[in-house]
Amino acid sequence: MTAAAGADPAAELIRLARERGLTLACAESLTGGLVAAALTAVPGASHAFRGSVTAYATDRKAAVLGVDAALLAREGAVHPGVAAAMAAGVRRVMAADVGLATTGVAGPEPQDGRPVGTVFVAVDGPEGARVRELALSGDRAAIRAATVSAVLDLAVALVNPREPQANQE
């Protein structure tokens, strides 16, 4: 379930959050702040967006966002459980209603035994939590851009009361 055809998913998410009185925050790894940049590019974003954490280094995912260090040691940073914990952690850290998270491998080399293009996006909110695995292709910029779109679309699907809930994958 994505934003309406032709709609900017960041603008749609900000609109929905404002309508529902929800606040948003994001935790980013491979996107390095691109999700926050997309959200804050929307006029009126300050009414819904609380802030973000760019936890690029694995140890920051544990220290700042509260991701279980044992999970990180066992599975690495590119894992669905890490994405889910990042989304929940940023909700807590930023006192937000909805947390968005991205973690994955943008390249140029594999990480944690995962090939380039393996990405997990997660959204955690009052309507529940969802994690989606992506197998993306292209160069580093294309993978990062597709990740931003995917997490925004997942958040729109979770927050939009008129949309059927996105399935966890």
Domains along the sequence of the chain with CATH: 9-159 (3.90.950.20)
Angle between helices 140-159 and 9-20 (to 10 degrees): 30
pLDDT in tens, the chain (169 residues): 445 556 899 999 999 999 999 999 999 999 999 999 999 999 999 999 999 999 999 999 999 999 999 999 999 999 999 999 999 999 999 999 999 999 999 999 999 899 999 999 999 999 899 999 999 999 999 999 999 999 999 999 999 977 554 444 4
Are 145 and 153 in contact, with CB atoms under 8 Å apart? no
pLDDT per position as a tens digit, 39-56: 999 999 999 999 999 999
Q: How much is the pTM?
A: 0.92
What residues does 129 pair with on adjacent strands?
124
Q: Is 90 left (phi over 0), alpha (psi -120 to 50) or beta?
A: alpha
Please state, in angstroms and rounded to a whole number, the distance separating the CA atoms of residues 116 and 1.
Answer: 25
